[in-house]
Amino acid sequence: MTAPAVLPKLVGQRVRRREDPRLIQGRGTYVDDVTIAGLQHLAFKRSDIPHGRILSIDTSAAEALDGVEAIFTGAQIAEFLGPMPVPTPFPAPEHRAVAADVVRYVGDPVAVVVARDRYLARDAADAITVDCEPLPAVVDPEAALSGQPAVLHADFPNNVAVGPLPAGTGVGRGGQVDDSAVDGAFAEAEVVVSQRMVNQRLAPTAIEPRGVVAHFEPGKETLTIWSSTQNPHILRTHVAALTGLGQDQVRAIAPEVGGGFGAKINIYGEDLVAAAVSKRLGLPVKWVEDRSEAFLATIHGRGIIGYVDIAARRDGRVLGLKLRLVADIGAYNMLLTAVVPTQTMRMANGTYAFPVVRATLTEVFTNKTPTDAYRGAGRPEAAYFVERAMDMLAREIGMDPAELRRRNFIQPHQFPYKTQVGALYDSGDYEKALDRALEKAGWEQLKAERDAARADGRLVGLGLSMYVEICGLGPSARLPNGGWEYSQVTVERDGRISATTGVSPHGQGNETTFAQMLADQFGVPLEHIRIHHGDTAVVKQGIGTFGSRSQAVGGAALHLAGGKVKTKMAKFAAALLEAHEGDLVFENGRIAVAGAPAAGKTFAEVAAYAHRPVKLPAGLEPGLSEEAFFEPPNNTYPFGCHIALLEVDRDTGEPRLLRMVAVDDAGNLINPLIVEGQIHGGLTQGIGQALVEEVVYGDDGQPLTGSLMDYAIPRATDFPRFELDNTVTPTPVNPLGAKGVGEAGTIGSTPCIVSAAVDALGGFGVRHIDMLLRPEKLWRIIHGGNA
Amino acid sequence: MAVIRDMMPAFELFQPTTTDEALGLLDEYRERAWVLAGGLDSFDWLKDRVKRPAAVVDLGGVEALRAIRPAGGGLEIGAMATLREVSRSPDVRERYALLADAAEIVASPQIRNQGTLGGNLAQDTRCWYYRDGWNCYRAGGTICYADTPTAMNREHCILGASRCVAVNPSDTAPALVALDGELEIHSSGGTRVVAAEDFFVGPDVDIMRMTVLEPGDLLTAVRLPDTWAGARFYFEKSRDRQVWDFALAAVASAAKITNGTVEDIRIVVNGVAPTPLRLRASEDAVRGRQLNDEVAARAGEAAVQGVRPLNHNGFKVALLRNLVMRAVRGGEA
């Protein structure tokens, strides 16, 4: 008998993504690929003014078109669809999926067409005439706080959605504020740096726009909804509640999803309208977002102004930080709109043991597309404000920016560390990440090269930033739908393994990483394992994919479910082998007594026995399928250090990124290749914010970046080769020690790019440059603002 | 005005395989016809539902329009040759690297694989007021929305405007003008050859067209004479991001230099005026002179004489001056 093949351990290995071949070859099934006999198509008529009262809607010309099944105005939709769900703990104005009386942003839906094909639906939507009385547009969030030029929602005076909400030193549980400690720190300071900074609006811009197919089957009284979502289970909850169905009657499916970046967490009006219209008409309906529609109808990210004051001594000891935030949240509260800016408050300490911190948040309604979660969701903004302030301080006192950070870090022995603003950091070793990055970049030599280039007249700058962020969302206390995750692991009759997970991957690679984990856990080949996800009829429970939680929370649930099955399988194997279950090892596709592999049974033999247990060992039920829910006790707080070298062309102002070094610590890594891919994508979006991306509204409230010609997304040629490395500081909050990495790259990179540009142009007296780093803006700085 | 479009209205699609067949269709449909080459400018117009032609004549099947071949000591490039075919052609690259460089910097690789030289030369302006379907001068109306006190006109003209302040966005156009290129235009009435500089039409001549092409006309080929073959070339395009962006300003230059003296030079810019603009005063400032920084500075100053910046594009003045200086220096610091 030949010795069984030795299977390598896969956790920690650079296993290629199993998802890629089908996606690269165009074999993925997206929402728009779903078709059903009799399918009708929806098109939304949207407001082309930012603010106005609807006087009348004339649908007669549209209704006359052959093939138009139905048209519903906002008022008609309201007869059979309730207001949008807003489960955040903050008060929110009523929000109808289709506006009935007042439109509040360009893109706000006012009617929906149901027609035979999507072209006809679009023609019919164009043929609808909406008569609106224009109201003044609220565009500038700070001016809006005076209630001028208009108030969006009558119950929210001065357009204040939330706040002012204080947090940090001297703020009691009831919100009472004692300023003495903060004022004391600033009074004691030898230097205070203050700056207003704008973290501009971004459009998430997934390669696949949103889409939905809803199919209500009157005979069965069930509704199936396919949606390009990051969380089908949460979608099911809301669709059921709003269509008057039970959760047992609704099945939500997230087929292949072409990127989400947080924008597909939200429960959108179009999904709810599709479900309600399908139920109303008894017909399957489809809506797929156009690209230009996505710029209006899908949530935006960021959009927050920060007033930062940092107090320090000249030796680099920071004494305190104040951060006053004004968030421009747009026209309505969506699912997480109000919560995202609170994450910026929560991360106001950054990686530093600041003695006092005060953060204050005000959220403001404006006549713009609502904001919600976008990759990082509140943490990039915090890292930006804190790190830019640290950089300004370093310049002010003439200290190396790395040294300034080093003097203020939270130290490894201080973890778990409760910050001034209430976050409980799980673990960290910030100095280690800093040192690794400095070494990787060759910091001292880089500084010399920069100085030499400057001597030659070139405008070269170095930027460094630290970051720490919140990953592994929940726990349940922090999320309106719960913060646990679910998994079921089944060893099939033939010894193959089917596993389900409540996370809903759309680029995170969990079909690969989760299979790696199970392959090692059971000692079977990767090819024998399938990970199922994204269908509430297949995956019994779940929360979804966001907040870098797949590995830290979903992976932990998988690990626990796998452990339960393994324990049970060992009992069956022990009965077959007449051995003690504690002596058994699972490896190389066999279950055997340790030290005597040839005497064991194959994995498939034990699986077959468990499914036809003759005879059944005492105390066991047949079968090998177990489930687990994992509730994390806390978030994880991954961190890192990013360094950028950037040159500005003196004649044209064009910035060029010359080097980008990123050292990230996400705890234990399951698959470093996938981790690097996540960081590459994150860096791309983080650098994109600094260099090219911005949602722009005119003073009249009209969006000016309504297509990919006007809204720039970064391209490969915008970047040098990314230089990555990592340190490993495991987290104690889950059994894997994994922290999560989906958003990391987006968080650390943005401030270091801006700091590099400020360094490059420091000779012209500039202290801070608001994003984005448009060549024209840089050129004006070089030339003293004179053309 | 609809906010969301992205879906083309219906039109009749024709896919001829010969030039004559195409000309017959253009003659039949005249101003109701739309010539489709690579489709990159066209599909935007159609999806935006701003232009609604009755017939679209797709030239993709007319193989004869794709050839790149030597002709009369120079080179003839079919109008349907893709930008990639132009930039990778050894004939173009070796003798007319200026055009190869310009073609190589258009948009993105996917667009260069699909977009054609003819389409790039004949493309419409990017002025968003016009493209968004506003009834401006260029669309037959009586106002320029880009030249009002509140207009967003950062990308618009600083030179040569006449009522309309939109710029020509083509990257290959200034290269072709600098190379003294010619364009071959067919119609049912016959064939004519137009100098590249005369091919482009400013609003002072016809505010509703970018080129001399009229209904029924078909641009079939581009001819490059041997005048500037192998000269010292310089092409630079300044833009907000490194790929898939139109020029804020671009410069194309061809120069003949002997022992440091500029015997002759062409300096052509785009993105700053309604047409690609040959800068004769800058050329005169350089021609016959020893090449040095002072001469380059003089050429740069000559380039910006008479500029009329709008509210948001004053930066283009310095950009133009600096690009011309670099072009004269030829890439040497």
Q: B-chain residues within 8 Å CB-CB of A369? A: none
Q: Report yes or no: A656 and A778 within 8 Å, Cβ to Cβ.
A: no
- The rounded radius of gyration (Å) of the Cα atoms in chain B is 20
A671, A699: one domain? yes
Q: ipTM more than 0.85?
A: no
Q: Report yes or no: A660 and A772 within 8 Å, Cβ to Cβ.
A: no
Residue A1 is assigned to a structural domain of this protein:
no
Test mutation, A652, A657, A691, chain B, max B CBs within 10 A:
A652
Q: How confident is the model at residue B1 (pLDDT cuts 50, 70, 90)?
A: very low
A387, A502: one domain? no
Q: How confident is the model at residue A2, as a pLDDT?
A: 47
Q: A-chain residues within 8 Å CB-CB of B239? A: 654, 775
Number of H helices, E strands in chain A: 20, 28
Q: Which of B3, B7, B243 sits opposite A46 (nearest CB)?
A: B3
A425, A495: one domain? no
pLDDT over threshold 50, residue B132: yes
A643, A721: one domain? yes
A731, A763: one domain? yes
Q: How confident is the model at residue B242, as a pLDDT?
A: 81
Averaged pLDDT, A698-703:
94
* Burial of residue B163 (number of CB atoms within 10 Å: 0-12, 13-18, 19+): middle
Chain A's closest residue to B108, CA to CA, is A715
Query: What are the strands, taking DSSP E only, across A171-300?
Result: 191-202, 211-217, 222-227, 250-253, 285-288
Give the model confidence (pLDDT) of A612-659 as tens digits. Answer: 999 999 999 999 999 999 999 999 999 999 999 999 999 999 999 999
Q: How confident is the model at residue A4, as a pLDDT?
A: 53
Q: Which residue has the higher pLDDT, A480 or A162?
A: A162
Q: B-chain residues within 8 Å CB-CB of A47? A: 3
Q: Which of A581, A613, A630 is the last residue of a domain?
A: A630
Q: How confident is the model at residue A6 (pLDDT cuts 50, 70, 90)?
A: confident
Structural domain including A73 reads 34-135+207-259+264-297
Amino acid code (one letter) for B264: D
| B238/A126 CB distance under 8 A | no
Residue A193 is assigned to a structural domain of this protein:
no
Q: How confident is the model at residue A787, as a pLDDT?
A: 36
Q: B-chain residues within 8 Å CB-CB of A654? A: 238-239
A439, A504: one domain? no
Q: B247 CA to chain A: closest CA distance, Å?
A: 12
Q: Report yes or no: B193 and B223 within 8 Å, Cβ to Cβ.
A: yes
Q: How many CA atoms within 13 Å lie on the side-chain side of A32?
A: 10
Amino acid code (one letter) for B108: S
CATH number at residue A95: 3.90.1170.50
What CA–CA distances, in Å, run from A411 to A133, A258, A405, A416, A428? 60, 40, 12, 10, 8
Query: What are the strands, taking DSSP E only, across A229-270?
Result: 250-253
Q: Name the β-bridge partners of A360.
A: A166, A324
* Burial of residue A266 (number of CB atoms within 10 Å: 0-12, 13-18, 19+): buried
What CA–CA distances, in Å, run from B232 to A63, B260, B296? 65, 12, 15
Query: What are the strands, taking DSSP E only, across A280-414?
Result: 285-288, 301-312, 318-330, 356-365
The widest CA-to-CA distance across chain A, in whole angstroms, is 90
- In whole numbers, what is the pLDDT of chain B averaged over residues? 95
Q: How confident is the model at residue A786, as a pLDDT?
A: 44
- What string of H, E and C letters represents the secondary structure of B95-126? HCHHHHHHHHCCCCHHHHHHCEHHHHHHCCCC
Residue A315 is assigned to a structural domain of this protein:
no
Other CB atoms within 10 A of residue A783 CB: 14
pLDDT over threshold 90, residue B168: yes
Give the model confidence (pLDDT) of A236-278 as tens digits. Answer: 999 999 999 999 999 999 999 999 999 999 999 999 999 999 9
Number of H helices, E strands in chain B: 13, 12
Q: How confident is the model at residue B332 (pLDDT cuts 50, 70, 90)?
A: low
**DSSP calls for B237-254:** EE-SSSSS---SEEEEEE
Q: B-chain residues within 8 Å CB-CB of A698? A: 152
Averaged pLDDT, A147-152:
96
Q: How confident is the model at residue B6 (pLDDT cuts 50, 70, 90)?
A: confident
Q: Which of A393, A394, A380, A467 is nearest to A430 (CA)?
A: A467
Residue A309 is assigned to a structural domain of this protein:
no
Averaged pLDDT, B15-30:
97
A715, A687: one domain? yes
Q: How many CA atoms within 13 Å lie on the side-chain side of B112?
A: 21
A536, A656: one domain? no
pLDDT over threshold 50, residue A373: yes
Q: How confident is the model at residue A1, as a pLDDT?
A: 41
Query: What distance in Å separates the CA atoms of residue A266 and residue A655, rounded to the nearest whole number?
Result: 35
Q: Report yes or no: A366 and A138 within 8 Å, Cβ to Cβ.
A: yes
Q: Report yes or no: A384 and A348 within 8 Å, Cβ to Cβ.
A: no
Q: Name the region of A702 (left: φ>0; alpha: ψ -120 to 50; beta: rest).
A: beta
Give the model confidence (pLDDT) of A418-471 as tens digits. Answer: 999 999 999 999 999 999 999 999 999 999 999 999 999 999 999 999 999 999
For A433-465, give one letter per residue: b (16+ CB within 10 A) or e: bbbbbbebbebeebeeebeebbeeeebbbbbbb
Three-point CA angle A278, A279, A282, nearest 5°? 70
Is the preceding peptide bond at A149 cis, omega within 30 degrees of 0?
yes
- What string of H, E and C letters represents the secondary structure of A508-572? CCHHHHHHHHHHHHHCCCHHHEEEECCECCCCCCCCCCCCCCHHHHHHHHHHHHHHHHHHHHHHH
pLDDT over threshold 70, residue B149: yes
Test mutation, A707, A779, A783, chain B, max B CBs within 10 A:
A707
Chain A's closest residue to B238, CA to CA, is A652
A525, A427: one domain? no
| B6/A291 CB distance under 8 A | yes
Site of tokens 């949103």: A210
Share in percent of chain A as helix, strand, coil (round to 5):
30, 25, 45
Residue A410 is assigned to a structural domain of this protein:
yes
Q: How confident is the model at residue A710, as a pLDDT?
A: 87
Give the model confidence (pLDDT) of B271-318 as tens digits. Answer: 999 999 999 999 999 999 999 999 999 999 999 999 999 999 999 999
Q: Per the structure, how many domains does chain A have?
A: 3
Query: What distance in Å separates the CA atoms of residue A785 and residue B7, rounded to the nearest whole number?
Result: 43
Amino acid code (one letter) for B155: E
Q: Which token pair is B103?
A: 């073609």
Helix (H) or strand (E) holding B129: helix B128-131
Site of tokens 């000779």: A763
Residue A60 is assigned to a structural domain of this protein:
yes
Three-state DSSP at B75 gives strand
Q: Which of B9, B125, B14, B3 is nearest to B62 (CA)?
A: B14
| A712/B245 CB distance under 8 A | yes
For B62-77, give one letter per residue: b (16+ CB within 10 A) or e: beebbebeeeeebbbb
Q: Which of A118, A691, A718 sits opposite B7 (nearest CB)?
A: A118
Q: A119 CA to chain B: closest CA distance, Å?
A: 6
Share of chain A above pLDDT 90, in %: 94
Q: B-chain residues within 8 Å CB-CB of A716? A: 243
Averaged pLDDT, B71-91:
97
Q: Report yes or no: A331 and A221 within 8 Å, Cβ to Cβ.
A: no
| A774/B317 CB distance under 8 A | no
A428, A560: one domain? no
Q: How confident is the model at residue A785, as a pLDDT?
A: 59
pLDDT over threshold 90, residue B329: yes
Three-state DSSP at B263 gives strand
pLDDT over threshold 70, residue A195: yes
| B322/A704 CB distance under 8 A | no
Three-state DSSP at A434 gives helix
Q: A-chain residues within 8 Å CB-CB of B326? A: 651
Q: Report yes or no: A477 and A483 within 8 Å, Cβ to Cβ.
A: yes
| B244/A715 CB distance under 8 A | yes
Could you give all domains of chain B from N- to C-terminal order, each with its CATH number? Answer: 229-328 (3.30.390.50)
Q: How many A/B residue pairs have CB atoms within 8 Å?
A: 93
| B49/A126 CB distance under 8 A | yes
Q: B5 CA to chain A: closest CA distance, Å?
A: 7
What CA–CA distances, in Å, run from A84 to A95, A266, A759? 6, 11, 47
Q: Report yes or no: B282 and B304 within 8 Å, Cβ to Cβ.
A: no
Q: Which of A145, A665, A686, A164 is nearest to A381 (CA)?
A: A686
Q: How confident is the model at residue B97, as a pLDDT?
A: 98
Is the preceding peptide bond at A279 cis, omega within 30 degrees of 0?
no
Q: A-chain residues within 8 Å CB-CB of B8? A: 119
Three-point CA angle A149, A152, A156, nearest 5°? 110
- In whole numbers, what is the pLDDT of chain A averaged over residues? 96
Three-state DSSP at A121 gives helix
- The rounded radius of gyration (Å) of the Cα atoms in chain A is 28
| B3/A651 CB distance under 8 A | no
pLDDT over threshold 70, residue A89: yes
Residue A156 is assigned to a structural domain of this protein:
no
Test mutation, B4, B156, B320, B328, chain A, max A CBs within 10 A:
B4
Q: Report yes or no: A503 and A549 within 8 Å, Cβ to Cβ.
A: yes
Averaged pLDDT, A367-382:
97
Q: B-chain residues within 8 Å CB-CB of A653? A: 315
Q: Name the β-bridge partners of A636.
A: A471
Query: What distance in Å separates the CA atoms of residue A265 and residue A206, rounded to the nearest whole number?
Result: 13
Three-point CA angle A651, A656, A661, nearest 5°? 150
A116, A43: one domain? yes
A405, A527: one domain? no
Q: Which residue has the higher pLDDT, A785 or B138?
A: B138
| B317/A787 CB distance under 8 A | yes
Q: Which residues of B touch A (CB under 8 A)?
A: 1-10, 44, 49, 108, 126, 128, 150, 152, 154, 238-245, 248, 309, 314-315, 317-319, 322-323, 325-326
Residue A219 is assigned to a structural domain of this protein:
yes
Q: Report yes or no: B86 and B104 within 8 Å, Cβ to Cβ.
A: no
pLDDT over threshold 70, residue B250: yes
Query: What distance in Å separates the CA atoms of residue B214 and residue B33, rounded to the nearest whole number?
Result: 11
| B3/A47 CB distance under 8 A | yes
Query: What distance in Å separates the CA atoms of residue B48 and residue A704, rounded to the nearest whole number?
Result: 15
Share of chain B above pLDDT 70, in %: 98
Residue A463 makes CB contacts below 8 A (sequence gap 6+) with A391, A643, A644, A645, A646, A751, A752, A753, A754, A755, A756, A757, A758, A759
CATH number at residue A532: 3.30.365.10
Chain A's closest residue to B126, CA to CA, is A709
Q: A116 CA to chain B: closest CA distance, Å?
A: 15
Share of chain A above pLDDT 70, in %: 99
| B1/A48 CB distance under 8 A | yes
Q: How confident is the model at residue A327 (pLDDT cuts 50, 70, 90)?
A: very high
Q: How confident is the model at residue B8, as a pLDDT?
A: 86
Q: Which of B150, B154, B238 sits opposite A652 (nearest CB)?
A: B238
Q: Which token pair is A764?
A: 């012209």
